[in-house]
Amino acid sequence: MKIIKTVAELQLFSDSAKASGHTVGLVPTMGYLHKGHLSLVEMAKKQCGKVITTLFVNPTQFAPGEDFESYPRDLERDSKMAVEAGTDIFFAPETREIYPVGYSTSIRMTGITEKFEGQYRTAHFNGVATVVAKLFNAARPDKAYFGQKDYQQTLVIKKLNSDMNFGIDIVVAPIIREADGLAMSSRNIYLDKKQRKVAGILFAALEEAKAKIARGERNRIVINSHMHAKLREVPGIRLDYAECANAQTLEKPETFLPGEEIVLLIACYIGKTRLIDNALVSIPAYDDKFEEGI
Ligand code: AMP
């Protein structure tokens, strides 16, 4: 495995890999890798001839006061883990390589970027869309891998891909969790022992909400209230949102319709650590609960 630091070298690698008949897979990350990231690399390795994993803590997706400076960084550890999982090229550029002096172009996406995360982290998705567009142009992949863990981000990336005609196959991989259900995240290291012990509550709230829907509940407000009540079992938890939405549009339906795919979305603080999680639920197309008017 090779560590590449410049866009020009990465483009050269990708172009020659493709000229030799390989498909190229891209796994963008901000590093401090865990099994969630590695699952993306392993999936890419199965589906592509060459895998590029990128490590770039992107300043433009952090707001002032967020954890850009303190975000965990360990290039040596990450490059080892990435190669063991099947990475061929590890792209770890300096900030100035991605945003050279005088850089003045960015992507601004409206619509889905303004909901949920967008209400709490206003410039976040424009920063994500901009850096991912740059990584797409630097790596020129056939396929790019993203985790369902950042559900709204996957919608943003798919929209970026189609709006900007990248023509990349966007693959969304399932959420990898700890034994108690906590979604793996580089930020979990911020949790102290006591906080870590209760952090499984997000998964528990999602599971209970899913079970309610499976038993026939179709009212969005009722499901929201259940999630809120469950999360509040943790004293001092601070909710940004715990909500249901249409999985494609992120609109909030009053009642879930037959055949509709719903996403349950949670963002909350335990102590100073902001955690997000989500789950997808498909409402049956022939929904006897709906016909019963429950
Ligand atoms: P990050 O380094 O947090 O920006 O994440 C890089 C990629 O890994 C994103 O596509 C994330 O959605 C994905 N990812 C992060 N955590 C997980 C997880 N627990 N399971 C699956 N994918 C994940």
Kindly report, residue by residue over 191-249, the tens digit of the pLDDT.
999 999 999 999 999 999 999 999 999 999 999 999 999 999 999 999 999 999 999 99
CA 88 from chain centre, in angstroms, equals 23
Which pLDDT band, with edges at 50, 70 and 90, does 55 fall under?
very high
Confidence (pLDDT) at 287: 84
Confidence (pLDDT) at 292: 56
Q: Identify each DSSP E strand in the chain by its residue range.
A: 2-4, 24-29, 50-55, 89-91, 143-147, 169-173, 238-246, 261-270, 273-282
Cβ proximity of 233 and 201 under 8 Å: yes
| Ligand 1 atom at minimum distance from 149 CA | 12
d(CA 288, ligand 1 centre) in Å: 36
Cβ proximity of 141 and 25 under 8 Å: yes
Per-residue tokens: 190: 């911020």
Q: Using a pLDDT cut of 90, give the percent of the chain over it.
A: 96
Average pLDDT over residues 28-56: 98
d(CA 217, ligand 1 centre) in Å: 31
39 lines ligand 1 (CB under 6 A): yes
pLDDT digits (tens, 9 = 90+) for 30-39: 999 999 999 9
| Ligand 1 atom at minimum distance from 174 CA | 21
Which pLDDT band, with edges at 50, 70 and 90, does 293 fall under?
low
Catalytic position from the list 37, 124, 226, 228: 37
Burial 230-268 (b: 16+ CB within 10 A, else e): bbeebeebeebbbbbbbbeebeebeebeeebebbbbbbb
29, 42, 53, 275: which to mutate for ligand 1, most atoms within 8 A of CB?
Answer: 29
Per-residue tokens: 62: 């952090």
175 lines ligand 1 (CB under 6 A): yes
pTM: 0.97
Average pLDDT over residues 141-163: 98
d(CA 210, ligand 1 centre) in Å: 22
Rg (CA), the chain: 20
CA distances from 64 to 69, 71, 110, 214, 291 (A): 10, 13, 21, 41, 49
Residue 226 a catalytic site member: no
d(CA 158, ligand 1 centre) in Å: 16
Average pLDDT over residues 123-149: 98
Atom 5 (ligand 1) nearest CA: 29
**How many H-runs (helices) and E-runs (strands) does the chain carry?**
11, 9
Report how far residue 158's alpha carbon sits from residue 37's, in angstroms, rounded to the nearest whole number.
Answer: 19
Q: What distance separates the 2 farthest-apart alpha carbons in the chain?
A: 62
Which pLDDT band, with edges at 50, 70 and 90, does 1 fall under?
confident
Per-residue tokens: 203: 């998964």
Report how far residue 8's alpha carbon sits from residue 40's, in angstroms, rounded to the nearest whole number.
Answer: 25
| Ligand 1 atom at minimum distance from 145 CA | 10
Which pLDDT band, with edges at 50, 70 and 90, does 290 fall under?
low
29 lines ligand 1 (CB under 6 A): yes
Atom 7 (ligand 1) nearest CA: 29
Average pLDDT over residues 117-137: 96
- Looking at residue 64, the DSSP 8-state letter turns out to be T
CA 112 from chain centre, in angstroms, equals 14
Atom 10 (ligand 1) nearest CA: 146
Average of per-residue pLDDT values in the chain: 96
Cβ proximity of 55 and 80 under 8 Å: no
